Chain A
Amino acid sequence: MAEPNGGQGPGGVIHDIGYQRYEGARLGRWYAVRSLYTHALRTAFGLGRSGKAKVFPWLVVGIVTLVAAVVTAVRSQLGEPVMAYTDLPEAMVVLVIIFCAVVGPELVSRDLRSGVLPLYFSRPLHRGDYAMAKLAATITATFLLLAGPMLLMFVGGAFTLDSLSDVWKEFGDFGQGLAYAALMAIVFSSIAVLVASLASRRAIAAAVVVAVFLVTAPVAAVLSFSSNETVNRLAGIVNPASLVGLLGHWLFDPPRDNTWGPVYAAVAAGLVALCAGLLLLRYRKVAQ
């Protein structure tokens, strides 16, 4: 490379040091998986991306946070809780669905479209690792969307309490809220990522994810009017949102109904396992 100042000027000298071999650490498969997970999680919130990519996720985060802030403010005025932690995910369910429908395709469909997958698969991480890292990032992003505002509710609420035992009880409720948020994040994200892995266009993938929830909701509603006890009780499992709701009520709202609760839990677990299994199957075939 040329020396712009003839090698003597005050600007110093530019040396072409040529090609350097890399002697440092090579951290292998699990490091790559972790890096992909954090990269995807940052991408979900538009971090390290253009300003345009930040608008949607932070708008949703803003709305949920605003609701949590208002609820907390009202509580501090009234002196008693207006909304349980487990009510927040339920109240925000539409936003959570839309969030998953946008983030899943953002993380998955985009890679399908740009054809970048062969570059991942020619590196140490495996095909299944890629799929699971993306799914885990979507679940985490959705969980954080609810957990952050819940934390605000807890911190704000804890200040209105008088005794430490009340704070402990509050903490238990907060934990239940987090568990419910995690449940919703896992079920919704599994569906969103699976659908997104089948469509390379983000808009189509997002529309199909929303459609899965929209189309099954009226089915569940109609079935719930049935006079047959079994059909009536099982109506909710047709729709992922009502399935999560039923499971949440069984887990967190006493009195417990132990006849149907385990059925809801089994259906939810089976649904998540099915989605994850199909996702792995999909990534065994894609971009070969």
Chain B
Amino acid sequence: MAGVTLIATQSLTKRYPNGVMALADLTVDVEPGIVGLVGANGAGKSTLIKILLGLLPPTAGQTRVLDLDPARDAEQVRARVGYMPEHDCLPPDLTASEFVTHMGRMSGLPRTSARERASEALRHVGLYEERYRQIGGYSTGMKQRVKLAQALVHDPDLLLLDEPTNGLDPAGREAMLTLIHRIGTEFGISVVVCSHLLGEVERICDSLVAIDGGRLLRSANISAMTATRDVLLVEVSEGTEELVARLGQLGLTVQPVGHALQVQLVNDDTYDVIIGAVADLDLPLHRLDQRRHRVAELFGRGDPLVPQEVGHG
């Protein structure tokens, strides 16, 4: 998997006829896996997806999807990509089974294969029992699942999901994210999840691409982003100063945060070093836990989305 490029753009620019600059000089490399494409509404996520599908021609720059050029080989790209749009896109008067079968045939599957794959896709998204009911009677959560199933029916190599949790309640969001994570890990299909909610996608993604105003804010692996920033929180009921001094002697970076201490996690031994120090000083330990930095902090949320490290890779 590693080293293969899923999506690559080079100085990609899209300017609409009305003068709106949707994408500006976007250069990004994405490896297979689950990729979060985050940005505020209007940041250019949907435009990027449409260019990746070959539905919009870019104004300038190059794009590769699955090592194909969507502007030139749109048919081949679309045969291997599944797309779930953000908005309502389901005919209310068909059953989920009929509709997903029809969409499978539109992707080139022979009639019987399309029927079998439609049943399978609906089973995987958790709609097996209800698949012979008309879509018009479905809840929002079920409709989102049908949208996902139609993107999955032809066994794509890449799924493009535009705001898949839109309109769902918290439980529905959770279920949808779990499902997407399963598709990315167990099914062996790469997934690009567009979202304006960073906190939502960061948990299931291997890497994140953040764009704002059509420009790349940052693109990186989640593990690379968080590994160096992992810290431990230590809290003792008394003797905090002594502990700070002792840990300092032991070569750890310590920072008081309220009542607690924030200790830089160097490696797995750091836990033992802290436990040892607390035991030596005979202090009552209240808590010792790992605190992963939320990616939002790394993206500099709170600041008005200042560009950092523009143009990685």
Contacts and interface: CB of A to CB of B under 8 A. Distances in A.
Contacts of A256: none
Contacts of B103: 119, 123
Interface residues of B, number: 36
A122 B78 contact: yes
A22 B117 contact: yes
A114 B90 contact: yes
A286 to B, nearest CB: 12
B200 interface: no
Interface string A5-33: 00000000000001111101111110110
Nearest to B76: A124
Contact of A124 (B91, B98, B108): B108
Contact of B108 (A26, A49, A119, A120): A26
Nearest to A50: B93
Nearest to A17: B120
A25 B104 CA distance: 12
A24 B88 contact: no
A124 B109 contact: no
B93 A49 contact: yes
Given A22-B109, A32-B106, A123 B188 contact: no
Given A39-B102, A114-B92, A121 B110 contact: no
A283 B282 CA distance: 77
A97 B186 CA distance: 54
A201 interface: no
B108 A32 contact: yes
B89 interface: yes
B154 interface: yes
A119 B55 contact: no
B107 A32 contact: yes
A46 B34 CA distance: 42
B81 interface: yes
Interface in A117-147: 117-125
Contacts of A20: 120
B63 interface: no
B98 A18 contact: no
Given A19-B186, A19-B187, A288-B56, A116 B90 contact: yes
A22 B106 contact: no
B310 to A, nearest CB: 29
B89 A119 contact: yes
Interface in B73-119: 75, 78-79, 81, 83, 85, 87-93, 98, 102-103, 105-110, 113, 117
A73 interface: no
Interface SS, B side: loop
A117 B50 CA distance: 13
Contacts of A36: 106
B124 interface: yes
Interface SS, A side: loop
Interface residues of A, number: 35
B55 A288 contact: yes
A121 B75 CA distance: 10
A82 B105 CA distance: 47
A36 B106 CA distance: 7
Contacts of B93: 49-50, 53
Interface string B187-221: 11000000000000000000000000000000000
Contact of A26 (B79, B85, B187): B79
**Residue among A25, A53, A115, A122 with most chain B CB within 10 A:** A122
A24 B187 contact: no
B34 to A, nearest CB: 15
Contacts of B87: 115
Given A24-B109, A115-B88, A29 B98 contact: no
Contacts of A28: 75, 79, 108
A79 to B, nearest CB: 49
A117 to B, nearest CB: 8
Contact of B75 (A21, A29, A53, A118): A29
B75 A26 contact: no
Nearest to A22: B155
Contacts of B90: 114-116
Nearest to B121: A19
11 contacts: A18-B186, A25-B110, A27-B109, A28-B108, A50-B93, A116-B91, A122-B55, A122-B81, A123-B107, A124-B106, A124-B107
Nearest 9 Cβ contacts at the A-B interface? A22-B155, A122-B83, A26-B108, A19-B187, A35-B105, A27-B108, A114-B91, A115-B89, A124-B75
